[in-house]
Structure 1
């Protein structure tokens, strides 16, 4: 191939199409548990996280309740991946062999949120959320129906030491976790002959750039269990989660509908939440109560 700006631009457009096609075709799982929040600055503050006022019978004037400001923010992080192609690869018409690489690059960009969100989830019992407690904790601060200070747990007790598994309520617009995007994954190139780096090395660079981050949202909508994944613990975890109450003893009305597990727990997860019959051949009353997400990022 003749090396000129026109031919280089044609090759770039072809690879960008390959990247975009793979990005569009990629399947992600994290969007089930994470809400996408657009970001317009270096970091975003989430002072609105917390309890929303409960509806009350309107007698007399309105009673205004401020949304709690917890000082919780998520700072965007910058990510990249870059590949280099030598000038002689163009000259020898070898640019076609790079198509799978750019396709994989598009796929990796698409599933990047999965890596970020589920890797953060794995550290949920040791990472602080908006209320100053770990996202999964036994003593989230709250207020009971009498106005007295109390604590709430979103960990099935007794805690246990087995491989953790997780229940989520994803039925609402607000999700338990946050995927924050300042600048989405963009495919770019440096192939100008006048560029100093290209002139000095005879190498063209192609890469992806993004400014994003993952964070924790409402802990009430997520529940962790470190006991064996069986029908008894699944029943107990569902019940404990649905019985969670907010400030002033408010019933939250949670509906756990997603079960997230690492690969080692895929079989018991499917047996508990999806199989029509249990191991004894009896009807499984929990069949269809939750979708199952299996992710290697929890391994």
Structure 2
């Protein structure tokens, strides 16, 4: 390829189109457990509700249900991902190799939101949620305590117990929340995937007969639940308009390119640089929609 400004600008445009297309083709799972929000400023502000409004018979004046408990502020962080292409690879027209590397770059970029929400889940056993308790822990609601955390390994019995527990949640007035009734997500790593599938993913039991838990949850295999987190498992109700987590965006992703031969980096390293810039943040919302176990108990 002739390395003039026109051809290099065309290369940047082609790579941008390739990277953004590859990202659009990726099927994420973060949007099933996190609410997406857009902000116009550095910080996004949200109101967390302890109780949710309910209908009542209208007698006398309307009763305003002021149910907000706490304001959540999320400050956007800067994120970048950058890759370089050697000048000689462009000059020698190794564009198939360049394109393959760019698509792999796009795949890693597309995974990032999934990675971020996974880190929230993993940290939830020690990080506080909006009510001041650990997101996965003991929560005071009215005069009762509810637990959305455990240590039991994933078994048919522990799955049933966790699901029954989350289905029994009530607000401070004793009103049933009605969560986890519509096929929640059972999130596991590769190690627990066969166990999760045996519990809810096949119609028959290993020793024969109908599986009463078949379809009670949808198995979602999370590639980051490995090594020290291989035994972790989560139940998430992603069927509601609200979600347990939030992913906040300040701006659309921005494509940045350095291809000018007079650029200091291009001159010093004999390579062209391309990258993505984003501003976003993640945070906790409703613990009532998520259950987590470390799988470390007996």
The answer, yes or no, to whether TM exceeds 0.5 is: yes
| Aligned equivalent of 2:9 | 9
Q: Does residue 22 in structure 1 map to residue 22 in structure 2?
A: yes
Residue among 157, 171, 181 paired with 1:246: 171
CA-CA distance at 1:95 after TM superposition: 4.0
**RMSD of aligned alpha carbons:** 1.7
Residue among 282, 290, 295 paired with 2:209: 282
Cα deviation code 1:88-113 (max 9, x no counterpart)? 43333334421111111221222211
Q: Are the counterparts in 1 of residues 136 and 148 from structure 2 also a CA contact under 8 Å?
A: yes
Whole-angstrom distance in 2 between the partners of 1:227 and 1:126? 17
Cα deviation code 1:156-193 (max 9, x no counterpart)? xxx4xxxxxxxxxxxxxxxxxxxxxxxxxxxxxxxxxx
| Aligned equivalent of 1:291 | 218
Q: How does 1:112-261 map to 2 (within 5 A)?
A: 112-138=112-138, 140-143=139-142, 149-155=143-149, 159=150, 226-256=151-181, 257-261=184-188
Whole-angstrom distance in 2 between the partners of 1:49 and 1:81? 36
Q: Could you tell me the TM-score, scaled by structure 2's length?
A: 0.71
Whole-angstrom distance in 1 between the partners of 2:225 and 2:70? 28
| Aligned equivalent of 1:110 | 110
CA-CA distance at 1:69 after TM superposition: 4.0
| Aligned equivalent of 2:199 | 272
Residues 240, 69 of structure 1: alpha-carbon distance in 2 compared, 3 angstrom cutoff: closer
Structure 2 residues without counterparts, runs of 5 or longer: 227-298
Q: Could you tell me the TM-score, scaled by structure 1's length?
A: 0.70
Residues 233, 91 of structure 1: alpha-carbon distance in 2 compared, 3 angstrom cutoff: closer
Q: Which structure is richer in relative contact order (CA contacts within 8 A, separation 6 or more)?
A: 2
**Higher mean Cα deviation, 42-51 or 30-39?**
42-51
Matched pairs, number:
224
Name segments (4+ residues, structure 1) moved above 4 Å: none
Structure 1 residues without counterparts, runs of 5 or longer: 144-148, 160-225
Cα deviation code 1:12-38 (max 9, x no counterpart)? 111112112211111212221112111
Q: Are the counterparts in 1 of residues 49 and 70 from structure 2 also a CA contact under 8 Å?
A: yes
Whole-angstrom distance in 1 between the partners of 2:87 and 2:99? 16
